[in-house]
Amino acid sequence: MAPGPQQSNRQLDSISLIIIGAFFTFFSVLVLLGTFWEHRPHAMVVNLAAGFTLMAVGCGMAGYGYRLRRDP
């Protein structure tokens, strides 16, 4: 039996969420690595906050996309 339009849209949404979440997570790793080259304390705090926020959003999106993909 072929999947209906609801199932097809759910599959596309889950893949999109996983890809965007992976991008945010990758970008957060770059921001956190850039923190080590910064010498001003204020800039380090801003980089850490931005990096961890991006990582939380990226992991949350990827996790939700993975969960959406697995649920029937």
What amino acid occupies position 17?
L
pTM score of the predicted model: 0.81
Residue 2 has pLDDT above 60, yes or no: no
Separation of alpha carbons 37 and 20, rounded Å = 27
CB 14 within 8 A of CB 63: no
The per-residue pLDDT for range 9-59, each reduced to its tens digit, is 888 899 999 999 999 999 999 999 999 888 899 999 999 999 999 999 999
